[in-house]
Amino acid sequence: MTPIDVTPIAAPGRTPDGAVPQTTEPSIFVIFGATGDLAKRKILPAMYELHVHGLTDRGCIILGVSRDAAMDDAAFRAVVRDAIPKDSGAQSDIASWVDANIYYQPVGNGEPGDFAALKTRIEGLEHDHNIAGKRSFYLSLPPEAFPSTIAGLGAAGLNHSAGWTRLVIEKPFGRDLPSAEELNRLVHQYFDESQVYRIDHYLGKETVQNLLVFRFANAMFESLWNRDHIESVEITVAEELGVEQRAGYYEHAGALRDMVQSHLTQLLALVAMEVPTAFEAGAIREEKIKALRSIAPIRADSAVFGQYAAGRIDGKPVPGYRQEPGVSPASTTETFVALRICLDNWRWQGVPFYLRTGKRMARRLTEIRVRFRQAPIWMFRTVSDASPQANTLVITLQPNEGFLLFFEVKAPGEPFRLQRLTLHFDYDEAFKTLPEAYQTLLLDLLRGDQTLFVHADEVEASWRVYAPLLARTTPPNAYPAGSWGPAETKTIVPDREPREPTDAQRTGSEKAA
């Protein structure tokens, strides 16, 4: 896991204190689906930011690939210039970077001759730019295009080179256990696991990465991180947005496949894993896989599925899921999932993990809430009317990245009363600027660090956990847009709406709810 220096750079390739950041090796970065939404919104801007911070100064040639045979280098460069946010730097600097580093190659329908031409183009660019066969292939493609593209690369001999070859695969990796196993077999037919980088952008968020540091660099918390001291763990990923323009994908995926199997499960694994033997990819992945394999079978009465109906977001009316363009009027696709999960291991026996995600929720929020056990005897009952409240650690991933620890203090003066305050750490306050997740992940890719990428065994272990739930036949429960999900959720998740404290509560100037 490679941290990015996000402070202003005093000179090209240098940090303000004069240190030279570790740059990447000269390489060629090939993007399949280079004219698509993900490439334009995330990948290309992230690559430019790495250049701005001097992290690819030794050379990184970007070769865009798509089916558009009418496009050429000049046309694709125009696409890239438009994709870079205007506030990323002077237009002359952006244009200079684009003209020097951006190229394009069509692949038509992906026939063997198309991949042979792609190989010839790559080798030509490597010769022209003195790159010693070091290549990354990023599949920014619909899942159904993965198999043919992987097979095409392998058949053309693009799965190996004189230097190194790396394959990046976006989620979803399969749609169930059999399809994930089949895709893994195909990948391993041409690529070794050490070459494969399955990307989950949640793992690139600074707060997610800092969770490892928080747990394992602070013995105070790690000593409490077990069933003796923790009552429950709640992981919430709530979105205000609806299905937007993704109905074609979402109708066949749903929240369980789209969010739970990937993002929420990765967060669960990081919270629940044992201490790795070293801070390196193999050791961390091994402990994550152990945690996933310890998940007990999920009972039917420990899962609630929902689908948003018409409602209001920020005071404005919004349609229900079945009224969205491209969605069947009789759709049974879930847009909300709540689960109670238990781990059968020594550390977490008897501690419920509550997972909750949904679209058209009350507001956008991603948090991990660790609720510690209450004091076994409430000694203050004779002097205070306050009821005992558990200490709670809240790790917020979005929108305001940081950590909050709720605890009790005595309020000044008389009568004797307790007040609930917070200790807090806010990334914006401390560091001002945070790298976008794709910047972190792409830099790790170029450096060959697999720590924040998902192993094949993780993917299969995760799908194995949720396989019984994928076979559900009952329709989802309706919930109004702008709420926290179906009323039935209260049967498995504590009746505590996730919410961030107010600014006053962050500073401790009023009682926290």
C-beta of residue 247 within 8 angstroms of C-beta of residue 324: yes
Q: What are 105-121's pLDDT values in tens digits?
A: 999 888 999 999 999 99
Query: Binning pLDDT at 50, 70 and 90, where does residue 384 land?
Result: low
**Residue-averaged pLDDT of the chain:** 86
What pLDDT sits at residue 211?
A: 84
What pLDDT sits at residue 508?
A: 43
What pLDDT sits at residue 391?
A: 84
Torsion of the alpha carbons at 180, 233, 213 and 457, rounded to the nearest 10: -20
Mean pLDDT lowest among 195-199, 300-304, 379-383: 379-383
Q: What percent of the chain has pLDDT over 90?
A: 57
Question: Which of 51, 53, 201, 263 is an active site residue?
Answer: 263
Query: Binning pLDDT at 50, 70 and 90, where does residue 387 land?
Result: low
CATH superfamily of 27-170: NAD(P)-binding Rossmann-like Domain (3.40.50.720)
Q: Specify the 3-state DSSP secondary structure of 350.
A: coil
Give the class (CATH, top level) of 204-436+456-507.
alpha beta
DSSP labels, 400-412: S-EEEEEEEEEPS
pTM of the complete model? 0.85
Per-residue burial over 85-100, b if 16 or more Cβ lie within 10 Å, else e, is eeeebeeeebeebbee
Provide, for the chain, the percentages of residues in helix, strand and coil under a 3-state DSSP scheme, each rounded to the nearest 5.
Answer: 40, 20, 40
What pLDDT sits at residue 15?
A: 39
C-beta of residue 289 within 8 angstroms of C-beta of residue 458: yes
pLDDT > 80? residue 282: yes
Torsion of the alpha carbons at 31, 109, 184 and 25, rounded to the nearest 10: -20
CA distances to 300, 333, 337, 431 from 466, rounded to whole Å, are 11, 16, 12, 38
Retrieve residue 304's tokens. 């609630």
What pLDDT sits at residue 69?
A: 87
What pLDDT sits at residue 512?
A: 37
* Amino acid sitting at position 308: Y
Mean pLDDT lowest among 1-15, 25-39, 257-271, 498-512: 1-15
What pLDDT sits at residue 28?
A: 96
Rounded Cα–Cα distance for residues 488 and 301 (Å): 11
Retrieve residue 11's tokens. 């000179």
- Catalytic annotation present for 263: yes
Please provide residue 484's backbone torsions phi and psi, each rounded to the nearest 5 degrees.
-100, 20
Q: How is residue 244 annotated by DSSP?
A: T
Mean pLDDT, residues 121-147 taken together: 93
* CA atoms within a 13 Å half-sphere pointing along the CA-CB vector of 135: 22
Domain boundaries in the chain?
A: 27-170, 204-436+456-507
